Chain A
Amino acid sequence: MSNLRTVITAAAFGLVAMQAQAAVAPQDLVNPITDYKLYVLDNLEQFSSHTREFTDAIKVGDLQRAQQLYAPTRVYYERIEPIAELFADLDASIDAREDDYEHGVQDPTFTGFHRLEYGLFHEHSTTGLGDYAERLMSDVETLEQSVQNLTFPPEKVVGGAAALMEEVAATKVSGEEDRYSHTDLWDFQGNLDGSKKIFELVKPLAAQEDPAFVARIEENFTAIENTLAHYYLIEGDASSGFESYDKVSERDRRALVGPVTVLAEELSTLRGLLGLN
């Protein structure tokens, strides 16, 4: 790992030239960006191995196991979406929803997790899903390769903290992301983890600029986590997974919308605060 770190650090130094009169010195971002790349690669590695188990289950026709693995596999992707989205074609073939296609589920170019979700949770069958599973596995491997060779643009990394909360605000709160499996809370937690990770990495820099800002962000992350905790499958155990999104009370949905919107709004200033162009 230490070897990889050196390589990445060197690449990340490319950002020095982009900085002008930022209050935060450009080299201060080198370590956070390096650490973030390690986080992304680690998640991608796990994403890849979980996707293999998931797609293997589909290919052998084990419906129940495939259904069980659907949500826990996606979490790794949801955490690193700001980077995955840099590869728009792969992002579309891995994670597009039927709404992205004029003909919905019938569209022959609709592939990826949500196409499989439709088969597994709506048609309750693995029949005909083999090719989609095959394609997903190969897309995920391509993504992993592509990210390894990527120099992480600092503005995309720092901006990713807000982008993940926009993702939550736009599709998770309404329960439309995983409309057949109702596993939205898993994705929600994944987006939240990813956003929080970025924030944690630059927190010392942000705190130098505006400690009150840091306090507001932390307060709202905590508020969301406290609400999500009501829906752990095993009380007090974040790793146990989540209840179905249709179990979330109206009051808790509102309790989530507030801090999600605040975080989207506050984190949208993080790039400016760190002097990124």
Chain B
Amino acid sequence: MSDRDDLSPGCPFSGLNRRRFLQGLGAAGIGAAATALSSGALADQQVRAAEVTDAPSSSATHQSHPFYGVQQQGIVTPRPAVGMLASFDVLVADRQGLERLLRTLTERIAFLTQGGTYEQRDPRYPPVDSGILGPSIDPDGLTITLSVGASLFDDRFGLGAVKPRHLQRMVAFSNDALDADRCHGDISLQFCANTEGTTIHALRDIIKNTPGMLMLRWKQEGTVPVMAPRSDGSTESARNYLGFRDGTANPPADNSGLMQNVVWVDASNQEPEWARNGSYQAVRIIRNFVERWDRTPLQEQEAIFGRRRDSGAPMHGGIEHDLPVYDNDPDGKVTPLDSHIRLANPRTRGSERNLILRRPFNYSNGVEANGQLDMGLLFIAYQADLEAGFITVQKRLDGEPLEEYIKPVGGGYFFTLPGVQAGDYLGSSMLAASQRHS
């Protein structure tokens, strides 16, 4: 503020940002302002009051997650408030083009997730960046996770021999009504960040830098409701658009031994060697019929999920993170046998093989023709074995009472590539392995 103290009375605007100054005047008008300035009221003008259109502030814009590593980011990284899954068709025609694409994506992801400034071009050219985050990019907790679909292993790139064993085109389950325009894809990019501006900026950057290489096929954005921190430091799972906590039974991501079993492909999975430290990504766009749900008695809602709505606790009581116990409830009198959580995870011997790591977001798109809300869950889950993980769990859920209120309409299966070290690119081990096969 000191730079404004030397204003000479003869030049009332010197040193002031003229536009801001005029904005601050409001209805008072220039004449009144001149009077105010000359009468020494300048000090009041120096701290500008908050304006309606000021950018909301956040202390988390500098937050960044490491990009280089054995495994990709955005899987065991704690889920932030905003997520987006974008699926692309690959347009390049050959392996050389595919390598160029993967190198470009690696380079863009490395930049976007760590932040920095970009080249300022001669203004007679289009700018290199969309500018929506300003001239300097803050990472804002952004992670970008690159995965590949079964279609990438068709005849175009000679990758057929190295396809991960369980990677397949998603097939409709009994309650699905799949919309072809929101299914599958050669490549998926999962964007997660603290704010939507950051994920949209990242998507636009990648589109701008991959002309002729990628075509956006579909995308689905989602959010997670933000909660105030609790005084005792404990945390709770976020809620979905049905009002229930989602992810209570998730295996803890800070347990690296467990993550090794549940999430990451390793020597025990009988997968191609290049795929180690990768993971299967299952994506589902699951519409929720929220109006009908909101007209359903609470006890019925709780019986359908198998949990208490407000606390998230098991039906037999306690707190959210108490483990559900079914041993003394063989007939489902407390927790119905066909409730969502009991079907998904029966907690019987061997069912730990079917664990998955959920990373869902809630989505809200618009209005259906019948005037009802188009909203639901952008379900994303990671697992080392797609067949034993999501596919087995979903087969158990087929026919569950919750189906009256949900309708999966899109998504797909992808394989998340292993991580990358500086100087290398995502997918290099896959291309090298297929070279040996060809």
- Which residues of A does B touch, CB under 8 Å? 220, 254-255, 257-259, 261-262, 264-266, 268-269, 271-273, 275-277
Contacts and interface: CB of A to CB of B under 8 A. Distances in A.
24 contacts: A254-B89, A254-B91, A254-B215, A255-B91, A257-B215, A258-B92, A258-B211, A258-B215, A259-B212, A261-B211, A261-B212, A262-B211, A264-B211, A265-B208, A265-B211, A268-B126, A269-B125, A271-B125, A272-B121, A272-B124, A272-B126, A275-B124, A276-B124, A277-B124
A265 B91 CA distance: 15
B122 interface: yes
A220 B212 contact: yes
The 7 closest A-B pairs by CB, nearest first: A272-B125, A262-B212, A258-B91, A272-B124, A258-B212, A265-B211, A261-B211
A261 B88 CA distance: 14
Nearest to B210: A261
Interface majority SS (helix, strand, loop, mixed), chain B? loop
Interface of B: 89, 91-92, 121-122, 124-126, 208, 211-213, 215
A50 to B, nearest CB: 34
Contacts of A264: 211
Nearest to B207: A261
B369 to A, nearest CB: 16
A259 B215 CA distance: 11
A257 B210 CA distance: 12
A38 B168 CA distance: 57
A271 B124 contact: yes
Contacts of B215: 254, 257-258, 261
A55 B208 CA distance: 43
Contacts of B126: 268-269, 272
B154 to A, nearest CB: 11
A258 B92 CA distance: 8
A268 B91 CA distance: 21
A277 B123 CA distance: 9
Contacts of A276: 124
B91 A257 contact: yes
A18 B351 CA distance: 75
Contacts of B122: 272
Contacts of A261: 211-212, 215
A258 B212 CA distance: 4
Nearest to A257: B215
B135 to A, nearest CB: 19
